[in-house]
């Protein structure tokens, strides 16, 4: 009886030793701390990092500039932003807005920001309608229009000619084919890709 007990003990010991250890749970993926993202500035989406956008694109009055962005944090969107280096003059009927390219519909717009475009600095304007959280990485379009301008502001933006470099579709910047707009329509109008131009810094945030 004792021999049987010893044999069973040895067998259990060998079984325990030969069993493969349970692997530890996989570590969650780490964020790329060196890469810039809109969420680092507490933004939902943006055309780029304003700290390294040196150019000052001039925008034509009456033209809607439509900028492709992607959702970087799934939170409600309540504001739209741009940044001006040198203010313009005689500016009227100017708006920032957010479109969903999936259906072409306007999700929200700001009130008239013409007065703010006539002074330098960061422009942070409330949206008239809160946009509910959107899925991460969803494509959205941020639009900017100045209905009229005696002198266009100098915006913070990207370099000219690099906007749609090498692209044949899904452009980063679109402009309207017409130049008579004094507001943002409820549906995206006919667009075209500009032959050249600079992406202005525009963003939306919570």
**Where exactly are the structural domains of the chain?**
49-205
Q: Report the C-alpha gap between 65 and 11 in whole angstroms.
A: 76
Q: CA–CA distance from 131 to each of 78, 107, 199 (Å)?
A: 7, 7, 23
Give 54's pLDDT tier (boundaries 50, 70, 90). confident
Q: What are phi and psi of 7, to 5 degrees?
A: -60, -40
pLDDT at 198: 81
Q: What is the dihedral of CA 147, 153, 155, 161, to 10 degrees?
A: 80
- First-to-last alpha carbon distance for the chain, in angstroms, is 75
Looking at the DSSP bridge assignments, the partners of residue 150 are none
Higher pLDDT, 125 or 7: 125
Average pLDDT over residues 103-125: 96
The fold for domain 49-205 equals Jelly Rolls (2.60.120)
Q: CA–CA distance from 120 to each of 86, 88, 153 (Å)?
A: 5, 9, 8
pLDDT at 30: 53
Q: Which among 100, 106, 183, 95 is positioned nearest to 141, based on CA atoms?
A: 100
Average pLDDT over residues 9-35: 53
Average pLDDT over residues 46-52: 92
Q: What are phi and psi of 108, to 5 degrees?
A: -170, 160
Q: 184 by DSSP, 3-state: which?
A: coil
Q: pLDDT by residue (tens digit) across 131-166?
A: 999 999 999 999 999 999 999 999 998 766 556 555
Q: Which residues contact 116 (CB under 8 A, 6 or more apart)?
A: 84, 123, 125
């Amino acid at each position: 009886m004792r021999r049987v007990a010893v044999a069973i003990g040895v067998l259990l010991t060998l079984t325990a030793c030969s069993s493969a250890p349970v692997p530890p749970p996989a570590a969650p993926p780490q964020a790329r701390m060196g890469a810039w993202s809109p969420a680092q500035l507490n933004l939902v989406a943006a055309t780029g990092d304003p700290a390294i956008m040196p150019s000052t694109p001039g925008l034509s009055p009456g033209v809607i500039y439509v900028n492709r962005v992607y959702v970087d944090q799934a939170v409600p969107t309540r504001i739209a932003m741009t940044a001006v280096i040198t203010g313009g003059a005689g500016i009227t009927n100017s708006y920032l807005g957010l479109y969903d390219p999936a259906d072409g519909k306007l999700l929200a717009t700001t009130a008239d920001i013409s007065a703010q475009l006539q002074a330098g600095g960061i422009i942070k304007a409330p949206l008239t309608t809160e946009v509910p959280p959107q899925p991460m990485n969803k494509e959205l379009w941020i639009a900017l229009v100045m209905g009229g301008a005696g002198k266009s502001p100098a915006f913070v933006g990207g370099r000219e000619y690099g906007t749609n470099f090498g692209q044949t579709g899904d452009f980063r910047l679109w402009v309207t084919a017409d130049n008579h707009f004094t507001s943002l329509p409820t549906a995206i109008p006919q667009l075209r890709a500009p032959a050249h131009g600079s992406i202005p810094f525009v963003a939306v945030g919570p």
